[in-house]
A and B are shown apart, each in its own frame.
Chain A
Amino acid sequence: MPDNIYLPQLARVAYIKDEVYGERAIKTFRVEPVDGKLFDHECGQCAMLSIFGRGESMISIASSPLIREYKQFSIMKVGRVSSAFHELEVGDVIGIRGPYGNSFPVDDWRGKNLYFIGGGCGLAPIWPVITTAVAQRDYFKNITVFYGGRTSRDIMYRTELEKLRDSVDVHLSIDKAEEGWEGYCGFVPAAVMDKDPNPGNAIAITCGPPIMIKFVIQNLNKLGFKDEQIYTTIENKMKCGIGKCGRCNVGKDYVCVKGPVYSWAELKHLPEEY
């Protein structure tokens, strides 16, 4: 950690991609250090990103820790800072500090079957785990990705997901039927049930809108997944990232320090203040 935790490092935007257009627009950014190197991170950790003059926002790091050259972020246009991100051009310089929070215990999952269940922009926080597991494919048994968007235009990382099909089972879904859509039609929790995943020697990792997570977990429990086999991430508004500004706590713990990654066995005992 640097001496002054609040002073961001400068990073240049090297790549921008429109993932999703329209009201729930998502863009993917890759940033590289202006000088020196960026911090190392683990799967699931976040970074505080700055656009000077607009402010800071805590964003999940969406690239694998194995990639050292850049850090990737996929940002939905919702608030002041995220909207400013959507105005950026390649070459622009932002601020970055981190990494913050805990991480997915990926190394503990070697030898297991992995089920990833994402919805909307909830694919971004689990993308580092997916891509790390794929890069270390031999360490894991079957890898399955369930991912859904409201419509086919809300599916992010579409190209990358198609590429994954060589080594991973990918099941895409959209909420309502559309002409030409070959994947599942319906909500993500139902898409999971449709494939009847086996809880034996498995870990399920889910991230997405809170309502989706709730029903995914209910369904996983029905399928026989134990609470300890289910992992998710939570988010809360954050300002400092180091457990001092006082707003992201759930009970006694600050999500920016003790989260964002929780097993359902841990999370279900916490007050629902997220």
Chain B
Amino acid sequence: MEKILEKKRIDDWIKALSDWEVHAPALQDGIWTYQPVSGAIRLDHPNTNQSPKGFAFPQREIFFSFEQIKGEPPKLKQVLPKTPQHAVFGVRPCDGRGVPRMDKVFNDHVEDPYYNARRKNVAYVGLACNKPPSPNCFCLSVGGSPVSTDGLDVQLTDMGDRYFVKAITEAGKALMKAADGMFSDPSAAEQKQLKQVHAEAVAHPQRKVNDPDGAPAKLKANFNSPLWEEMARACIGCGICTFLCPTCHCFDINDEVQNKAPLKGQRVRTWDNCQFPDFTMHSSGHNPRENTGARLRQRVNHKFQYFHENFGMHQCTGCGRCITGCPVGIDIVTVVNKVTEHAG
């Protein structure tokens, strides 16, 4: 389904989506974040500060609650998420490509009921990048594109005073059908303009991973390279890289106790971070990834080697957030290039 929507009517479209909870990027205190839409939206954001991964994989979620009176067995109460249908507007293609990667992680081997309960109720309305929204964009290096529709339900392309609106999935069609009358069919000229805009988008220069196809084998060969420690020396282990990443999925599971006697609390999942020393530390104190070099290697190899070996694709989608956000200038593009160009 391909349609044209006049830009000034986007708020009317969103108003027509009464069966969805609509979120869109909003500028708050100088930071672009996804916010529930109340009023007019603007889709002129560079990219959001945080990825939209939290819609299906929130930063903290309750698995179940437990209660126990002393001498009696505990009572568990499963808390499966019951989220309304979400429509998330303004998702950049790199973040769209994060979605199928997260889907793989949470459904490989065993299905994750919490992720899936949320995921099935989220539709992503993407916005093609007519020009790279960040100086650290490198989607083209990792199999993506500024006009990729991978993981998206609808793709919007900015064509001046109108959007070219393309439904990618059934969920996307449903979003468009909810406001049927607002759209018009694209003319031949508009089809041609779309091709032109997309061609220009792809032609913009970006950062470059030099040998993405060779990376898995080269990273494997350079596992013991001294470069890892050298490049990670500045790392302060803050974890912003994985926090901002659209595909980082590592999590922790902990019990939060509200009351000790009678026992009352809940088991929660929270995002976790491979850059933290205690992420892999055994209770004996032994730590298989005991220095920042080993932890940087884990982050980079997971994205450019391990995930590729398991699923045939890079886990990195080239959004560049980990580069922009790093307080000490660790740059995944430089790191991959250095290690893969390292002869030894």
Residues of A participating in the B interface, judged by any CB pair closer than 8 Å: 1, 3-8, 10, 12, 34, 50, 52-57, 78-80, 82, 93, 95, 210, 235-237, 239-240, 242-252, 257, 271-274
Q: What's the dominant secondary structure at chain A's contact region?
A: loop
Please tell me which stretch of B17-25, B136-144, B204-212, B278-286 contacts chain A, meaning at least 4 of its Cβ atoms lie within 8 angstroms of it. B278-286
Contact yes or no, B253 A52, CB < 8 A: no
**A5 — which chain B residues lie within 8 A by C-beta?**
110-113
Asked if B341 is an interface residue, CB under 8 A from chain A, the answer is no
Q: Which of the residues A93, A245, A248 comes within 8 Å of B74, measured between beta carbons?
A: A93
Contact A244 B253 (CB under 8 A): no
Q: Chain A nearest CB: distance from B302 CB in Å?
A: 8
CB of B1 closer than 8 Å to a CB of A: no
Decide: A7 near B64, CB < 8 A? Known: A53-B265, A93-B74. Answer: yes
Known: A5-B113, A52-B255, A56-B253. A271 touches B76 (CB 8 A): no
Report the minimum CB–CB distance from A235 to chain B (whole Å). 7
The answer to whether B250 touches A245 (Cβ under 8 A) is yes
- Residues on B with C-beta less than 8 A from A249 are 298, 302, 306
B74 and A52 form a contact (CB under 8 A): yes
What residues on A are CB-neighbors of B78 within 8 Å? 4, 7
Q: How far is the CA of A34 from the CA of B72 in the complex (A)?
A: 11
Bound CA span A235–B288, Å: 10
Q: Is the CB of A93 within 8 A of B309?
A: no
Bound CA–CA A259/B66 (angstroms): 31
For the residues of B in contact with A, the DSSP-based class is: mixed
Evaluate contact between B306 and A251: CB separation under 8 angstroms.
yes
B230 sits at the interface (CB 8 A): no
Chain B residues, CB < 8 A from A252: 305-307, 309-310
User: Do the beta carbons of B74 and A10 come within 8 Å of each other?
Assistant: yes
The answer to whether the Cβ of B108 comes within 8 Å of any Cβ in the partner chain is yes
Asked if B254 is an interface residue, CB under 8 A from chain A, the answer is yes
Given A235-B282, A247-B280, 15 additional A-B pairs, CB 8 A = A4-B113, A52-B74, A53-B255, A53-B260, A93-B74, A236-B288, A237-B279, A237-B280, A237-B281, A243-B110, A244-B251, A245-B252, A246-B272, A249-B302, A251-B220
Which residue of the partner chain B has the closest CB to A48? B253
Known: A52-B263, A78-B284. A1 touches B76 (CB 8 A): no
Which chain B positions have C-beta within 8 A of A257?
109
B294 on interface, CB distance cutoff 8 Å = yes
Q: Which residue of A lies closest to B77 (CB)?
A: A7
Q: Hey, which chain A residues are within 8 Å of B163, CB to CB?
A: none
A-B contact pairs, 6 of them (CB 8 A): A4-B80, A6-B253, A53-B265, A78-B284, A247-B274, A249-B298
With both beta carbons as reference points, the residue of chain A lying nearest to B282 in the complex is identified as: A237
Query: Would B281 and A53 count as touching, CB distance under 8 A?
Result: no
B80 touches A246 (CB 8 A): no
Interface string of B39-67 (1 = CB under 8 A from A): 00000000000000000000000011010
With a CB–CB cut-off of 8 A, which chain A residues contact B80?
4
B16 interface residue per 8 A CB criterion: no
Contacting residue for B68 out of A1, A6, A52, A272, CB 8 A: A52
How long is the Cα–Cα vector from A55 to B255 in the complex, in angstroms?
5
Check: B183 CB closer than 8 A to any chain A CB: no
Closest to B258 in A: A53
Q: How far, in angstroms, from A251 to B336 measured CA to CA in the complex?
A: 17
Hey, which chain A residues are within 8 Å of B68, CB to CB? 52-53
State which of B263, B269, B282, B302 has its C-beta within 8 Å of the C-beta of A53: B263
Residues in A with CB closer than 8 Å to B252 are 239, 245
With A52-B255, A252-B310 already in contact, the answer to whether A273 and B294 are too (CB < 8 A) is: yes
Answer whether residue B114 sits at the interface, using C-beta atoms and an 8 A cutoff.
yes
**Which chain B residue shows the least CB distance to A271?**
B223
CB-CB < 8 A to A34: which residues of B?
A: 73
A260 to chain B, nearest CB (A): 13
CB distance from B219 to the nearest CB of A (A): 11
Complex interface residues of chain B between 247 and 272 (CB less than 8 A to chain A): 249-255, 257, 260, 263, 265, 267, 269, 272
* Contacts A52-B68, A52-B74 given; does A78 touch B283 at CB 8 Å: yes
